[in-house]
Chain A
C-alpha cells in the first residue's frame, strides 16, 4: 500500500506521520475520537512512550523516505509522565526544525506541539491545521528538491 509518489495526491491524500507520546497526546487523539471530532485522514500515528524517546532521526528518516509531513506531540512542558522527557524533546526537535532546510526539506513539513489527554478539541485543531498546511505545500518532492529554501535561508 506504500508508494505515495506513484498515485496522484488528490486520490491518495497526503502522508503525514505522527509521533505521539503514550500518556498525553495519544490519549488526546483518543479523546478526539471518542468525542467524534472530525479530522482529515492524512495522519498515521505511531505511538511512542514519551517524546523523550523521539530521536530526531525518526522525523528526518520519515521525510527522507517520502512522508509529506511529520507531526510530533507530547505532554505539556512540566507535565511529562516521566518528569522531563518532553523538555529534552523540545530542545532536540527545535534543533531539528532549524536543521531541515540544510537537508533541503521545507521546515514547514515538520511540526511539534503539546496536547494533553483531555484536549481532544485542541488535537482536532492541531491535526486539521497541520494537514491543511501540508496540502498547501503539496507532496514531498524528495530530499534536496526544496533546496531553494536553503538558499533563501542562507542569506
Chain B
C-alpha cells in the first residue's frame, strides 16, 4: 500500500508544542509510507487540495492525517480523499491536538507521542479495506407514540407533509396533560380552546390512523422498515358503533369510581368518557368497578345503548403496523407529593397538587370552575403555594429543575386573585426560574399587579389547626421563621419520567438517563434524534419542558422524519459486523448479546445454521466481535487485526 501522511500544524495549536516537521520526517521512515509532509492548516481548502494533489501525483492508496480529534474533522477529510478517488475508509486520523499538543508543553515528549500515534494510525491503515454503503428502501409511514400536545403536533405536521401517520395513545383520549390544564402561562389563554381544535384535526385528517386505549407491544426492524405490534386494549365498547351520546354513563349504577381525569377530586362512573372534548369521544368500561364484571349482575349500559355498542366479551386485539420512522412523545408523570410526609400531601384533603388545583380552576372541572377546597367545599380565604415539591432536591432523587412549576404557580396565583379578589396568596419558593419569552414579566405581574406574597425559603412542616392548615417555613431573605395559616395548600409537584418509559425504551432500543428521561443523540446539536436511527423524540419524555418547547420539538421531530422520507432509499453505514461463515461455529452467542437484534440464523444446505448480520440493523458496537469465541464475526473498520496492529505498533 502507498500511504501519505499529513501532519497538521493547526497554526500554532499543534506546532507550538509539537515538532511537526520531525513527526513528518519520522513518518516517512515507516513501512508503506510513500509521502509525508507537514502543513499549516490541513483542514482548510488549500490543505485539502494538497492532500488530493498528493493522492494523484504520488499515487497514494491510503491517507493518514495527524491533526485534531477525528470527532471534529474525520468526516471532512473522508470527503476530501473521496473526491480524489479513494474509498473514504482508506483514511485514518491521529489525534495530536486534543490528546497531545493541548495537554502538555513538553515539546520533546509531545513530539515522540505524536510520532507514535502516527505510527499506530499507519499500522491500522495497512489493514483497512474499502467499504461501501448499500441502499435500503424506506416505508414512508410514521408512527407517533403518545397523543399529548407534542405528539399531536408531530402527527399533524407529518400529516400536513402528506405522510401517513399512525398515532398511538395509551389513554382512551388524546390530549395528554395539556387537556387537563385550565389556562396556559404566560398568556393565560384557555388550554382546551387552543388544544381542542388540534385534537379535532387529528381525527379529521384522512391520513392519520388513531389507536387510542392502545400500547406498543413490540417493535422490530430498523430505520425505514419498522414493524410495530400495537395492543388495542379491550374497552368493552365497540368504538365503531359508539356515538359518544353518554346515555350509558347517565344510567351506570357504579358511581364511586375515582375520576382520574379530575385527579380523583370527583367520582366518575364505571362506563365513562373522560372529558367532554375527548377525542375520540367514545365510552370505555372500567372493569375494576363495573358491576357486570365485579358482581356479574348488571347489564344496564348494554340495555340503554341505542347502537348496541357495549360488548362485555371484548378482548385485547393486536394490530401490526409497518412504519419507516417512529416519533416518541410519551410525556411525563407528576411527582408523588406524599413522599414529603411533612407536607401532608395525600394525608390532608386540603393539601393538593398543582394539577389538582388546575382541575379546580377549570370550568369543566369538578367544581365547575369555582374555587372551593376539597374538604368542605368552602371558598378558601388564604392559599399557600409551595414550590419545588419533587424538584431540585437530591434527597428525593430529583435534583433537576422541572422548569414549569415557577410559571404555573404564578399563573394559578393570578387566576386565584382573578376569581377571588379577596383571597390572599402566598408562595414559598427557592428561586424563581422564568427564562422564557415574557415569563419573568408574568411572574412580576403576579407579584406587583396581583399582590401575591412571595417568600423565599423552604417549608418545614404543614399541619392542621382546626379546619385550617398551618404552613411553617423560613424566610431566608429576612432570616426569620414564618407561619402562615391557610385554607388550602397547593404543592407544586415536579415532573418525572412517565410510568413505563423505561420498558418502552427497551423495546425501542433507545437509552434513558438515570431519571428515565430519554436521551437525545447530542444535547445541543441533535436534540430530537436518538442513537437508534429512525427513532425521534418530542416533548417531555426527553426532559422537563413547557408547552411551547414541546410543540417546537414535535415540529422538529416531524421535520426530521420528512427529511428522512424525502429520499426513497437510505444509505447504510458500512462499519458493521461481518460473519466469516467458514469460521463460525454456530454457537449463537453473538445473537444473544446483540443489543439491536441485528444478528440472526441463516440456514445453509444440509440444515447447518450460521450467524448472519443484518447490515441495516447493525449499529457497529462490536459487542459480538468481542464475544465470538473463534472471532468469526468481525466489526468492519475495527477488526481484531486493525486494533492489534495499533497495539503492536506501540508496544512490540
Contact = CB atoms under 8 A, between A and B. Distances in A.
Contacts of A83: 509, 511, 595
Interface in A62-96: 62, 65-67, 78-85, 88, 92
Contacts of B646: 46
A52 B103 contact: no
Interface string A1-12: 110100000001
Contacts of A147: none
A84 B626 CA distance: 14
B497 to A, nearest CB: 13
A76 B627 CA distance: 21
A85 B116 CA distance: 29
Interface string B608-652: 000000000001111101110000000100101001101111111
B511 A49 contact: no
Contacts of B511: 78-81, 83
B623 A52 contact: yes
Given A30-B98, A48-B622, A49-B620, A85 B120 contact: no
Given A44-B113, A45-B99, A49-B621, A88 B593 contact: yes
Interface residues of B, number: 54
Given A41-B113, A66-B651, A78-B514, A53 B625 contact: yes
Contact of B649 (A2, A27, A92): A2
B116 A81 contact: no
Nearest to A33: B98
B95 interface: yes
Contacts of B95: 30, 45
B102 interface: yes
B513 interface: yes
Interface string B55-74: 00000000000000111100
Interface stretch (B104-112, B367-375, B382-390, B416-424): B104-112
B71 A53 contact: no
Given A1-B26, A46-B646, A33 B638 contact: no
B326 interface: no
A50 B103 contact: no
A1 B626 contact: no
A55 interface: yes
B109 A52 contact: no
Interface residues of A, number: 49
B209 to A, nearest CB: 30
A125 interface: no
A152 interface: no
Contacts of B652: 2, 65-66
B631 to A, nearest CB: 8
Contacts of A33: 69, 97-99, 102-103
Nearest to A35: B102
Interface of B: 26, 69-72, 95, 97-100, 102-106, 109-110, 112-113, 115-117, 119-120, 509, 511, 513-514, 519, 531, 575, 593, 595-596, 619-623, 625-627, 635, 638, 640, 643-644, 646-652
Given A53-B622, A62-B647, 14 more contacts: A2-B119, A2-B650, A15-B650, A30-B69, A33-B102, A36-B103, A38-B103, A40-B104, A44-B113, A55-B625, A65-B647, A78-B513, A83-B511, A85-B622
17 contacts: A2-B650, A27-B71, A32-B103, A33-B69, A40-B104, A41-B106, A44-B117, A45-B95, A46-B647, A48-B622, A50-B622, A50-B623, A53-B638, A54-B626, A78-B514, A81-B511, A82-B621
Interface of A: 1-2, 4, 12-13, 15, 17, 22, 26-27, 29-30, 32-34, 36-41, 44-50, 52-55, 58, 61-62, 65-67, 78-85, 88, 92, 124
